[in-house]
Structure 1
Amino acid sequence: MLTYTIRRLILSVPVLLFIALIIFLLLQLAPGDPMAQVPLTVPPEVKQKMREALGLGAPWYIQFWKWLVQMFWIEPMVFIDWLTNHSSLLGWLPNTDFYTPCGPAVDGPCDLRVISWQTRSPVMDIIIQRMPQTLWVVGLAYVVAFFIAIPIGIYSAYKQYSAFDQAGTFITMIGFSVPPFFTGPLLIVIFSVYLGWFPSIYDTTHVVNDWESFVVQLKQMIMPVMVLALQVTAQISRFMRASMLDNLKQDYVRTARAKGLPERVVLLVHVLRNSMIAVVTVVALAIPGIFGGSIITERVFKVNGIGDALIGALFASDMPMVMTLTFIFAFLIVMANIIADVLYGVLDPRIRYD
């Protein structure tokens, strides 16, 4: 298993590089100019110097190579310096000084990070600042969806064609069919405008320091979490039901029942473990998928997360920000596939990779 995991991680490197190249080329072909938002009063020669400062005058392969160096060499150096200089986890190590920031005080070679064309700030700093908001909403939505979908799928399979199963099928069809850009405004109209229960805008500056502030935080998270959890719950519960139905017909289930094992043990020990093998793929691939859904949800509820940053960067033609965020999403998908393959062997002893 360890050998297989290492081999998959090594093979994922050229895959990610190829994905990065495709993303870069597509962004090069996309319409839009970062100088379009510059005021018309700026002279053309000043605009040209601004374009050269952003690296837009270089050939595409030079720009791509510079992004690779900045992303996979300079940014790790910045991260290592932060770990040894400022973090509480590894702050006891000797301070490193790998990264040399560029500036007027630097005389000699320096390291330029991936800079956002829109904000003129390092892209990774912006992502790190916005990531906690996304993880709070997306992470909670995923946990809620998982703990709701698994019991629904198990009970729907055990009580096939019952009223509960039919109601679950109807609700999951709605969850599959209705996109977040519809459910988001619908929940705002119902729960914010008419009922006034929850705020329509997510306040990212809110600080939780007592019980009342915790209640406020909980109220503003309910609607975006509901929107994201709806689709994931529908997906996981349907796959859980189908997998349970398939395993309930197997010979080992009849054998376990013939031995006199309690029905609860048959379902939750034997059938559930084998059924989770098929569900693992859905659960693992839903993680990057729900980040994609958060792009629209964050825009609807004004959550200051990475999804909202991606939409803003697309409107501003901020290629470094768009390139970095889309590559992060691609990285999540590749890693989710590797994790799913490894979990197959954990759940099913018959599966061997070595």
Structure 2
Amino acid sequence: MLTFALRRLLIAIPTLLLISLVIFLLVDLAPGSPASDIPLTVPAEVRQKILESLGVNQPVYVRYLLWLKQFFWHEPLYAIDHMFGTDYAQGAQRIISYSSRAPVFQIIAERLPQTLIVIGTAYLVAILIALPIGIYSAYRQYSWFDQAGTFVSMVGYSVPTFFTGVVLILIFSVMIPRDSFFWFPSIYDTSLRITDWASFGAQIRQMALPVLVLGLYNAAEISRYTRSSMLENLSQDYARTARAKGMGEGTVVLKHVARNSMIPVVTIIALGLPSVFGGAIITEQVFKINGIGAALIGAIHANDLPVVQTITFITAILIVLFNLVADILYGLLDPRIRYD
């Protein structure tokens, strides 16, 4: 398995380089320019120095190499105003001095904790809820529990998150009085720091609504795949043979059937994990979470091309990485799978 993992990692290097080139060209050659947001009152020589510091006048291959370089090294920039915490977003609104800008990875790292705390918690909660529901729904097919789970899953998966988020805000933030125990804030306070139990409780309360919105959406998808895979394996010969040998129903379902049913579910979970790091853009906008999704929207509005390209490229890296993780987990779940 180690040889397989190393071989896949080596293959991933040229794959990611090709992906990075495609991402760079799609964004770089698209209509628009970083100079479009610079006010007309800015002197022409200052505008020219801003464009030169961004490498806009360089050939395409030079801009591509500079884009790869700016992941890790500080580069000169004439305008600084990190209103959105991005590379040069809104920087032209206030020309200050010839300064330096941080690597884009560092800027994204400032937003990543908020995304991981909220979106990551929602995805973890969704997995913990969806797997038991999917397994039990398949085992008790057509029961009242299965019917209720199917209804909730269809509603959770078909209703968009922006609608669910707005409905929850209207119910728990507007209709319920602020002094009530069931009132929850609709805006996420990124400046909150956990120092005691009171601040910890405040953090949990402001996470409740976005976690509920994303948890319901992700749990609906994962539980449906789990149920479908379980139903397919419950009717297999090995399950009937295990029962005929006198094994308990719990051992047959949990140890044999559930383990074999996890292979397609692992694929869905692994491919969904990059969205945790990329941020749930719509949900972050609804609840004003200052995470990766908000950084991407701010960068798009400000024509902040390096940040747009970097977030997209990071998502591609995570997809390739978690595909490898899923392949390795296949071998752990099913001993019949060999990588030699």
Q: Tell me whether the two structures share a fold, i.e. TM-score over 0.5.
A: yes
Residue of structure 2 in register with 1:326 after alignment: 312
User: Structure 1 residue 291: deviation in Å?
Assistant: 4.4
- Segments of 5+ residues of structure 1 without an aligned counterpart are 79-100, 104-114
State the secondary structure of the residue aligned to 2:66.
helix
Aligned residues: CA RMSD: 1.7
Residue of structure 2 in register with 1:140 after alignment: 121
Residue of structure 2 in register with 1:116 after alignment: 87
**For the Cα contact (< 8 Å) 2:111–2:290, is it kept in 1?**
yes
User: Structure 1 residue 102: deviation in Å?
Assistant: 6.5
In 2 relative to 1, CA 326–29 (structure 1 residues): closer, same or farther, beyond 3 Å?
A: same
- Segments of 5+ residues of structure 2 without an aligned counterpart are 77-85, 92-100
| Letter of the 2:24 counterpart | F
| Letter of the 1:142 counterpart | Y
Deviations 1:179-230 (A, max 9, x none): 2222222211111111241001000111111111111110000111111112
In 2 relative to 1, CA 290–53 (structure 1 residues): closer, same or farther, beyond 3 Å?
A: closer
Deviates more, 1:129-138 or 1:23-32: 23-32
Residue of structure 2 in register with 1:38 after alignment: 38
Deviations 1:31-71 (A, max 9, x none): 32222222211233432232112110011111001222333
**For the Cα contact (< 8 Å) 2:184–2:205, is it kept in 1?**
yes
Count matched residues: 316
Deviations 1:74-106 (A, max 9, x none): x2xx7xxxxxxxxxxxxxxxxxxxxxx668xxx
**Equivalent of 2:134 in 130, 153, 178:** 153
**For the Cα contact (< 8 Å) 1:228–1:293, is it kept in 2?**
no
Mapped to 1, the partners of 2:127 and 2:252 lie a distance apart of: 22
Residue of structure 2 in register with 1:223 after alignment: 209
Mapped to 2, the partners of 1:285 and 1:194 lie a distance apart of: 37
Mapped to 2, the partners of 1:139 and 1:42 lie a distance apart of: 42
| Letter of the 2:280 counterpart | S
Structure 2 residue 225 is matched with structure 1 residue 243: no
| Letter of the 2:13 counterpart | V
Residue of structure 2 in register with 1:271 after alignment: 257
User: Structure 1 residue 121: deviation in Å?
Assistant: 4.0
| Letter of the 2:199 counterpart | S
| Letter of the 1:347 counterpart | L
TM-score of the two chains, using structure 2 as the length reference:
0.89
Deviates more, 1:283-292 or 1:231-240: 283-292
**For the Cα contact (< 8 Å) 2:126–2:219, is it kept in 1?**
yes
**Equivalent of 1:203 in 189, 202, 206:** 189
Residue of structure 2 in register with 1:14 after alignment: 14
In 2 relative to 1, CA 190–292 (structure 1 residues): closer, same or farther, beyond 3 Å?
A: farther
Residue of structure 2 in register with 1:191 after alignment: 172
TM-score of the two chains, using structure 1 as the length reference:
0.85
